Structure 1
Amino acid sequence: MGTMTNASLVLVGNSQGGTISVLRLAEGELTPVQTTFVGQGCGTFAVDQERRLVYAATSAPRPAILTLTLEPATGALNEIARTDLPDKLAYLSLTRGGTALLGASYHGGWGAVWPISEGTLGAATGRVEFPNVHCVVTDPAGLNAYFVSLGADLIAQYALDADAGLRALTPSTAAAPQGSGPRHLVVSDDATSAYLVTEFSGEVMRYARAEDGTLSARESVVIADPAAGLAHSRFGADPAAEHLIWGADLHVARGGSLLVATERTASTVASVELGADGVLGQVLAYAPTPKQPRGFAVSPDGDLAVIAGEAADGVAVVAVGADGSLQVGQELATGEGPNWVRFFRA
């Protein structure tokens, strides 16, 4: 299963258990290495490959960002720094070679940028406020920062200055359809497109990215499995109880030829074809996942996805074929409430 011959590490954040599990992935099979308690609510983290550091957000005993060292041979994680926060974070991402960290607070309604020196976060150099900020990412070069506001149905777009300060672009926001619930965003490797998954409408939307960093909405495709018979969701609803769409996460796979996205109520993963110019095509396949797939990651070679089932207390390895086929393989228990996955090249 899969084409990876060299081992990679897979880090899984088990939010309810407050742990990060380190797994080894080789030849499509996961092997547990070590699980470390880092703090309750560990639901997002970012990995600095070069410095072997992990920046993890926790919610108890108080919201914070922890800096952890990672020992690849043993999977050991050790805290070396901590930055307290006013609210817990839903998303963390690194940019500019690990010298700046960006965070999004869904419950606090804000996003921020922190410079990093030797693993320690400095004072925030930029802060924005929007309702229910669920995600923040940059383009590959770290020139622009994009904050996704689920509560306001928009993407706030900024230039990231040399000192990691934020400067609003013109226009300062790119709209998502009203009531769609924009959730997670990824920018293509060539920086010409950004892809958004919506929580309430279960769509993947493409935004064209101009040279000045601004985004413009283009085509969209529904990634919720029509066979599940799910209805459009809304803010404050219980999607599992009401059988509503519950879009979760998305990533580019297979060298930019495919997009992969998850939906939690029906517990499915979908593949979507991408044209040579990044344009969204049709949904190619659906596959079942562990229950409630909240977050996942794609392997460095783009051939495998490791998907966390938040209500299954474990992950599954899914082979992503060049034709968009999705083959579900090994499932492995990791901890309570897994909802975040990232790779580390061992």
Structure 2
Amino acid sequence: MKTIHKHLLTASLLSLTLQTQAATLLVGSYTDGDSHGIYRYHFDPALGRIEPTPLQAVKSADPSWLVLSADQRLLYAVNEGRDGQVSSFTLAGDGTISPLGQVDSKGAEPTHASLSHDQRYLFVANYGAKAPGGSLVALPVDRQGALGDATQHLRHAPSKVNAERQSDAHVHSVVLAPDGQHLYASDLGADKVFIYRYDGASHRQPLSPALMASLQLPAGSGPRHLQFDAKGEHAYLTLEMAGEVAVLDVKPDGELQLRQRLPLTEQQDPAFKAAGGLHLSADGRFLYVSNRGKANQIVVYRVDAKDGRLTLLQRRAAEGEHPREFAVAPDGKFLLVGNQHSDEIVVLQRDPREGTLGEVVQRLPQAAPSDLKFIE
């Protein structure tokens, strides 16, 4: 009996060790200042703290968005420059990042990318701040994970509602539905989310317009980032220029229907309206949205389990300037905010049951953070 108890205790301790095992945090950052580009950090999930000294710093120009492959052995970064590039890297078993290659994004200021579910294509959103504007590009991925030259290049017509920001198309994100059959391109300059069918068997033209080719959003709203729930029944979209978050119903053929719009701020001043990133909690019960500008907040919503509607829970100060991106820690007990303009990553306590954000756990100096991704 003592031997059995000993084995049970050993198993329990091993389980506890695995649950609190350190995670690896990848940080992308803008490089017009002191940043190298991509950083790899040790994150302690028990304490909610990032080890101040990075495990590795990788030179990469303005890696504003990071994408991990499904097996977490490959890393892709869009290099947000006037002459856009996309870089690929391998990840060793110990997390070490090694360069694999780089290709032209066929556009300016790439800001987002997504891998197809079959890992055959990387889709890239070129924002294109200046004429001729932004575009959506398909880059083939070979068996080793290296990127090939673009095989498809798509442009949209702008809305021109806002003369300063919408005179051209500006694709801000490209996201695949959970079923992998449709891709959604949020175009800030067009006030639309464009919907494409995905055919992984195609070697040249993997995207074609869906039956419902686009969802029209309110004029001048500026759609930015999109995320689906786990079942693919609802999606959540930030409207950057309107300072709002929208709830969308997803139909079997990929069609989107607008269900709800909520303001991120009570302020009417446009300077407080700058919706950014958004992320669902792992259990899908809460949605977190960043609002930059003069607001500088993380806004927390409860998600209705039946129809996906949102209820405001909290507006929490981001504890810095311009919270461009953020991430919920793997165990759900902390939320990490990348405050781009105040050069800092802030770790906030998070209540997994209630969804609310609490006290500051850590402030880590980090030049111009642009994206945060955990390797588990």
TM-score by length of 1: 0.88
Please state if 1:142 is matched with 2:160.
no
Answer whether contact 1:285 1:324 (CA < 8 A) is retained.
Answer: no
CA 1:18–1:57 in 2, change beyond 3 Å: closer, same or farther? farther
CA–CA distance in 2 between the matches of 1:310 and 1:192?
33
In structure 1, the residue matched to 2:207 is 166
Deviation at 1:102, TM superposition (A): 1.2
Match of 2:226 among 185, 194, 197: 185
In structure 1, the residue matched to 2:135 is 110
Answer whether contact 1:15 1:40 (CA < 8 A) is retained.
Answer: yes
If asked which structure has higher relative contact order (CA below 8 Å, sep 6+), I would say: 1
CA–CA distance in 2 between the matches of 1:221 and 1:59?
30
Deviation at 1:254, TM superposition (A): 4.5
Q: How does 1:292-303 map to 2 (within 5 A)?
A: 292-303=322-333
Answer whether contact 1:21 1:334 (CA < 8 A) is retained.
Answer: no
Report which of the two has the higher share of strand: 1
Specify every segment of 5 or more residues in structure 2 that has no aligned partner in the other structure, as ranges. Answer: 1-18, 157-168
Deviation at 1:6, TM superposition (A): 2.8
Please state if 1:308 is matched with 2:338.
yes
- In structure 1, the residue corresponding to 2:25 is in which secondary structure? strand
In structure 2, the residue matched to 1:239 is none
In structure 2, the residue matched to 1:54 is 75
Please state if 1:13 is matched with 2:28.
yes
Deviation at 1:341, TM superposition (A): 1.1
In the alignment, residue 268 of structure 1 is paired with which amino acid?
Q
Answer whether contact 1:125 1:163 (CA < 8 A) is retained.
Answer: no
CA–CA distance in 2 between the matches of 1:201 and 1:122?
37
Aligned length: 329
Answer whether contact 2:49 2:362 (CA < 8 A) is retained.
Answer: no
In structure 2, the residue matched to 1:258 is 286
Specify every segment of 5 or more residues in structure 1 that has no aligned partner in the other structure, as ranges. Answer: 234-242
**Max Rg structure:** 2
For residues 10-69 of structure 1, the C-alpha deviation after alignment (integer angstroms, 9 at most, x for no partner) is 111111334112122222222243342432222112112515211112246942111112
CA–CA distance in 1 between the matches of 2:113 and 2:200?
20
Answer whether contact 1:253 1:303 (CA < 8 A) is retained.
Answer: no
| CA RMSD after TM alignment | 2.2
Match of 2:312 among 283, 287, 292: 283
- What percentage of residue pairs aligned between the two structures are identical? 25
Structure 1 runs of 4+ with >4 Å offset: 59-62
Answer whether contact 2:272 2:292 (CA < 8 A) is retained.
Answer: no
For residues 102-160 of structure 1, the C-alpha deviation after alignment (integer angstroms, 9 at most, x for no partner) is 11001141012222111111343433212000001001231110000001111000111
In structure 2, the residue matched to 1:236 is none
CA–CA distance in 2 between the matches of 1:170 and 1:303?
41
Answer whether contact 1:125 1:166 (CA < 8 A) is retained.
Answer: no
TM-score by length of 2: 0.81
Answer whether contact 2:80 2:111 (CA < 8 A) is retained.
Answer: no
- In structure 2, the residue corresponding to 1:282 is in which secondary structure? strand
